[in-house]
Amino acid sequence: MNESGSVVERRRVRVWFGDHVIADYWAEALRAEQYADAMARRFAGLRVTNDPLGGGSVVRPLPSERLWDLGPH
């Protein structure tokens, strides 16, 4: 729940290299969508999934937006 008492949807975003998950994070729905879009652009050709966060999932929270585009250039 957020401050207003509304239920906040949490999503699980994963980046896949074949059958292997190379990134696995959760975030609120809007940020998860933004992260999934950024990863799909950055890793064109890799599968990116954005699913509801199931109960009992042990997943790290999404890193700071500033880190989404960091990497080798």
Which sign does the torsion angle of CA 54, 67, 20, 34 carry? positive
Identify whether 4 is part of a domain: no
The pLDDT tens digits of the residues spanning 8-58 come to 799 999 999 999 999 999 999 999 999 999 999 999 999 999 999 987 777
Strand pairing of 60-61 and 10-17? unpaired
Range of the domain at 44: 10-57
Please say whether the beta carbons of 60 and 23 come within 8 A. no
Where is average pLDDT lowest: 3-7, 10-14, 16-20, 63-67?
63-67
Q: How many angstroms separate the CA atoms of 2 and 8, rounded?
A: 6
Identify whether 17 is part of a domain: yes
Q: How many angstroms separate the CA atoms of 19 and 61, rounded?
A: 22
Identify whether 39 is part of a domain: yes
Overall number of domains in the chain: 1
